[in-house]
């Protein structure tokens, strides 16, 4: 009985040890590169440790998340591997300067992987180039908008100058907008994609005030922030433009009426000038007539004076004759 228990205990220890060794062995994967910074023409040498004779997949990720180079190798019997993954070409749109990621994936260890960030730059000699990922977020929002009318906000996300991201819910999931009331409204699951790295959202304001859009980009452990503000008015610029156009139309009609009135006034002035000339002519004629009447009156007086004198003499003679008879 004692021997049986001892045998079971030994077997149990052996099983535990075997499981521990298998677990420790199953998680063996190390990845290194011969340098942290590379320039044009230099080889990218990758090495490390893994399980003996297993297949490894090596991938090189560009700053925008694409895979310009990958390879598959077999680990040696000693559990080591090395490989020249790529010789860096001249920089181009396919291989721009920036932060790249080397990844090794085990095909037998449940997809176990390791990554190393490296820098591809123009020089590795004069300066110490930091290996870091630079993510930028640009937000394009209209300066003004109208209340209760939707407007569109655009977002551009880049890493080392390249557009990144094809899932806005994962990339911009913590973005939000600050309302005039002080509340913060999440914009997660609201963005739509135009292109890799280009997204937009349609937003409808409910109040006349300023809205601030805070866009947060999260990519491969790096966070970037961008913001833009929009002033919401009772109507947008298009409404004001329509009113200006309408006002211009009214002003044009008024100008036409004024021109017409001016023309009529000009004709009326000509008529007044003609009438004034006629009045002047009439006054001149009347003056001439008065002068003629005065002259005729003088002539008449000169004719009547002798007659009146003669009548006076005759009357005087008659009175004298009448007096003598008495």
C-alpha angle 205/208/210, rounded to 5°?
A: 80
- CATH number for the domain harbouring residue 179: 2.60.40.10
Tell me, yes or no, whether 109 and 140 share the same domain. Answer: no
Asked whether residue 302 is assigned to any structural domain, the reply reads: no
Using the predicted structure, report yes or no on whether residue 129 has a pLDDT greater than 80: no
C-alpha angle 124/88/137, rounded to 5°?
A: 75
User: How many angstroms separate the CA atoms of 285 and 287, rounded?
Assistant: 5
Q: Give the total number of structural domains in the chain.
A: 2
Digit-coded pLDDT (tens) for 184-225: 999 988 999 998 889 999 999 999 999 999 999 988 778 889
Higher-confidence residue: 201 or 5?
A: 201
Tell me, yes or no, whether 112 and 140 share the same domain. Answer: no
Asked whether residue 247 is assigned to any structural domain, the reply reads: no
Asked whether residue 291 is assigned to any structural domain, the reply reads: no
**The tokens of 278 are what?**
């006629």
Digit-coded pLDDT (tens) for 57-95: 999 998 888 899 999 999 999 999 999 999 999 988 788
Q: Which domain does 188 fall in, by range? A: 135-235
Q: What is the pLDDT of residue 126?
A: 43
Digit-coded pLDDT (tens) for 270-291: 676 777 777 777 778 787 877 7
Compute the radius of gyration of the chain from its Cα atoms.
55
Tell me, yes or no, whether 111 and 154 share the same domain. Answer: no
Using the predicted structure, report yes or no on whether residue 139 has a pLDDT greater than 90: yes
pLDDT bucket at 130, cuts 50 / 70 / 90: low
Asked whether residue 41 is assigned to any structural domain, the reply reads: yes
- CATH number for the domain harbouring residue 92: 2.60.40.1930
Using the predicted structure, report yes or no on whether residue 117 has a pLDDT greater than 70: yes
Lowest mean pLDDT among 122-131, 145-154, 192-201, 220-229: 122-131
Asked whether residue 12 is assigned to any structural domain, the reply reads: no
Q: What is the pLDDT of residue 7?
A: 67
Tell me, yes or no, whether 142 and 229 share the same domain. Answer: yes
Tell me, yes or no, whether 78 and 159 share the same domain. Answer: no
Tell me, yes or no, whether 87 and 144 share the same domain. Answer: no
The domain boundary, picked from 176, 200, 235, lies at 235
Burial of 232 (0-12, 13-18, 19+ CB in 10 A): buried
Tell me, yes or no, whether 111 and 191 share the same domain. Answer: no
Cα distances (angstroms) measured from residue 269 to each of 115, 254, 263: 96, 22, 10
Cα distances (angstroms) measured from residue 108 to each of 31, 51, 111, 156: 16, 9, 7, 39
Bridge-based pairing state of the strands 37-38 and 113-120? parallel
Asked whether residue 5 is assigned to any structural domain, the reply reads: no
Using the predicted structure, report yes or no on whether residue 19 has a pLDDT greater than 60: no
Q: What is the pLDDT of residue 17?
A: 59
């Amino acid at each position: 009985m004692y021997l049986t228990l001892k045998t079971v205990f030994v077997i149990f220890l052996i099983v535990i040890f075997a499981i521990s060794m298998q677990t420790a062995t199953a998680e063996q994967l190390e990845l290194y590169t011969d340098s942290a910074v590379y320039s044009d023409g230099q080889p990218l040498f990758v090495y490390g440790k893994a399980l003996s004779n297993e297949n490894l997949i090596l991938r090189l990720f560009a700053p925008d998340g694409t895979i310009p180079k990958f390879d598959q190798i077999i680990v040696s019997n000693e559990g080591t591997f090395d490989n020249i993954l790529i010789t860096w070409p001249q920089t181009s749109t396919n291989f721009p300067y920036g932060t790249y990621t080397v990844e090794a994936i085990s095909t037998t260890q449940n997809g176990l992987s390791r990554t190393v960030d490296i820098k591809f730059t123009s020089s590795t000699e004069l300066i110490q180039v930091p290996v870091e990922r630079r993510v930028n977020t640009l937000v394009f929002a209209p300066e003004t908008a109208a209340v209760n009318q939707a407007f569109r906000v655009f977002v551009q996300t880049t890493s080392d100058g390249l557009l990144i991201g094809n899932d806005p819910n994962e990339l911009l999931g913590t973005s939000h907008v600050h309302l005039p009331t002080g509340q913060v409204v999440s914009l997660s699951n609201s963005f739509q994609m135009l292109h890799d790295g280009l997204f937009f959202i349609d937003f409808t304001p409910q109040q006349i005030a300023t809205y601030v859009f805070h866009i947060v980009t999260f990519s491969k452990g790096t966070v970037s922030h961008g913001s833009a503000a929009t002033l919401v008015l009772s109507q947008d610029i298009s409404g004001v433009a329509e009113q200006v156009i309408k006002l211009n139309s009214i002003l044009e009609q008024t100008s036409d009426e004024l021109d017409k009135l001016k023309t009529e006034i000009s004709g009326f002035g000509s008529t007044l000038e003609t009438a004034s000339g006629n009045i002047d002519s009439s006054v001149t004629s009347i003056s001439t007539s008065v002068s003629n009447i005065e002259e005729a009156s003088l002539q008449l007086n000169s004719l009547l004076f002798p007659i009146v004198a003669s009548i006076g003499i005759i009357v005087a003679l008659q009175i004298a004759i009448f007096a003598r008879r008495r």
